[in-house]
């Protein structure tokens, strides 16, 4: 990468920090270094904006991490692993995809494949199967949960 400082270092957060922590760190540092802030430093604010731009969403953060430390992402492999092989969970942790199930792009499990959500919180998928937002994921939910009578049934009571 270039000679610019590490985005995590600029944001003063750990590599394993949650997205909410990154957002809070940006807000706190921006309050301090903004030209109208308590300790104005325009150059530091520019650096902070660039760092936050790299880490502000799970997708951007994953791409930044992939370019930042390719050896750690790839493990012991010598060949590059396509970015679709990994997904970020809601806590920013990297999860290997074992199936081709669609990835949720909203809600508490944004960035999680349907198969992972089925193992972690099947009640959420049952609810999603009845919600208008979940119509496009209905086939994957049926595959992940198997023969579940509560899938897609309105008025079904969650356990």
Q: Inform me whether the pLDDT recorded for 71 exceeds 50.
A: no
pLDDT value at residue 33: 93
Mean pLDDT across 63-78: 58
Is it the case that residue 79 has pLDDT exceeding 50?
no
- Residue 3 has a pLDDT of 64
Q: For the domain 7-71, what is the CATH code?
A: 1.10.287.110
- Overall average pLDDT of the 89-113 stretch: 67
Give the start-to-end residue ranges of the domains of the chain.
7-71, 97-145
Q: Identify the pLDDT of residue 55.
A: 94
Q: Look at residue 158 and tell me whether its pLDDT is greater than 50.
A: no
Share of the chain above pLDDT 70, in %: 73
Q: What is the pTM of this model?
A: 0.45
- DSSP assignment of the chain, as one string? --SSPPHHHHHT--TT--HHHHHHHHHHHHHHHSTTSSS--HHHHHHHHHHHHHHSSHHHHHHHHHHH-HHHHHTT-SSPPPGGGEEE-TTS-EEE--S-PPBP-SSTTTT-BHHHHHHH-HHHHHHHHHSGGGGGGHHHHHHHH-S-TTTT-TTPPP-
Q: Average pLDDT for residues 102-121, to the nearest whole number?
A: 80
What's the rounded mean pLDDT across residues 122-150?
85
């Amino acid at each position: 990468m270039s000679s610019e400082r590490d985005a995590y270092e600029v944001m003063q957060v750990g590599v394993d920090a949650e997205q909410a922590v990154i957002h809070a760190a940006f807000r706190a540092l921006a309050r301090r270094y903004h030209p109208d802030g308590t300790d104005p430093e325009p150059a530091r604010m520019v650096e902070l904006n660039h760092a936050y731009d790299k880490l502000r969403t799970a997708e951007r953060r994953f791409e930044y991490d992939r370019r930042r430390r390719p050896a750690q992402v790839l493990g012991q492999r010598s060949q590059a692993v396509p970015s679709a092989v990994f997904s970020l969970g809601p806590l920013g942790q990297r999860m290997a995809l074992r199936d081709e199930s669609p990835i949720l792009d909203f809600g508490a499990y944004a960035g999680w494949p349907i198969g992972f959500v089925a193992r972690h919180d099947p009640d959420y998928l049952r609810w999603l199967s009845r919600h208008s937002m979940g119509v496009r994921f209905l086939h994957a939910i049926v595959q992940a949960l198997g023969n579940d009578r509560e899938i897609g049934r309105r008025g079904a009571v969650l356990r």
